[in-house]
Amino acid sequence: EVQLVQSGGGLVVPGGSLRLSCEGSGVSLTTFNMNWVRQAPGKGLEWVSYIDRSGGRGIVLYADSVRGRFTISRDNGKNSLYLQMNSLRTEDTAVYYCVRENRGFDPWGQGTLVTVSS
Amino acid sequence: QSALTQPPSVSGAPGQTVTISCTGSSSNLGAGYDVHWYQQLPGTAPKVVLYHSDIRPPGVPDRFSGSKSGTSASLAITGLQADDEADYYCQSFDDSLSGTVFGGGTKVTVL
C-alpha cells in the first residue's frame, strides 16, 4: 500500500521543541519535492514548508508564521522527511501532514497532532 | 485572510450541481500557476480530486470537473451524492508569499 507514515507529534509546553518524521512506505520520496501542511482544530489548511528533491543544498521555503523557528530536512537514503520545530507557540497547535508533490499534493500522511500548551 | 478566496459553504439537493469558486490574484492564479482541488472528509487527510485545474486522478468520478481562467478557478460537482458532503480546498503557488497557498475551504452540504 502506498502511504506516508508520520511520527513524532505530542504535547509540548510553549517554547519547547518537537521533531516530526515522515517515511515513505511503498512510495518513493527521493525524486519528489516535499511539503508540510498543518490544520489547526476546526480550521482550514495552512502550508508550512517545502523542500525540493535534492535536499541539502536545494531550495527550502517557509511560511512567514514559522520562518526562523522551523527547519525542514530530508534523508533520501532513508526515504524520509523531517520537520524540526523550535520555540513552539500555542498557535502552532495543529494536525501536521507531510505530503508529496505529485500531480498536486499526493499522497498525504495520516497526520500527527501537535499540541502546544502549558 | 487567505490569498485564495472560497465561499464558506455551498449546498444542493441530491442530483443537483454545485460549483465552488476560488478567486486569486495576479501573484498566484493570474501568474499562471496551477490550481489543485482537495476533498477532506471529517477526521481524514485531504485527498486530491482535481490537479492541474481539470485532471481527475484515478478513482475520482467524472461528476467532478474544473476550470481556470485568469485569476479564478472553479470546481463543479454534478449529480450531487450524499458522500460528496465534505470540505473542499483549492491550492496554488503565490509569488508574493513565495510559497503554496490554500483557499479557506468550502463546506459542501447535501440537503
pLDDT at residue A54, as a whole number:
85
Quote the CA–CA distance of A26 and A6 in Å, as a whole number. Answer: 14
Note whether A105 contacts B: Cβ–Cβ < 8 A: yes
- Which residues of A fall within a CB distance of 8 Å from B101? 47
For residue range B67-96, what is the model confidence (pLDDT) as tens digits? 999 999 999 999 999 999 999 999 999 999
Query: CB distance from A91 to chain B under 8 Å?
Result: no
Cell triple for B82: 450524499
State whether B89 and A63 contact (CB < 8 Å): no
**In the predicted model, is pLDDT for residue B46 greater than 70?**
yes
Positions of chain A with pLDDT under 70: 55-56
SS3 of A14, please?
Answer: coil
Who among A47, A64, A106 is closest to B100 (CB)? A47
The alpha-carbon gap from A105 to the nearest alpha carbon of chain B, in Å, equals 7
DSSP-derived secondary structure for chain B = --SBB--SEEEE-TT--EEEEEE--TTTGGGT---EEEEE-TTS--EEEEBTTTBPPTT--TTEEEEEETTEEEEEE-S--GGG-EEEEEEEEETTTTEEEEB--EEEEE-
pLDDT of residue A24: 95
The reply to whether residue B45 touches residue A35, judged by beta carbons under 8 angstroms, is: no
∠ CA B52-B102-B22, rounded to 5°: 65
Apex B17 CA angle, B11 and B18, nearest 5: 45
Instruction: Let me know: does A108 contact A22? Beta carbons within 8 Å.
Output: no
Q: B102 pLDDT exceeds 80? A: yes
Per-residue model confidence (pLDDT) at position B1: 79
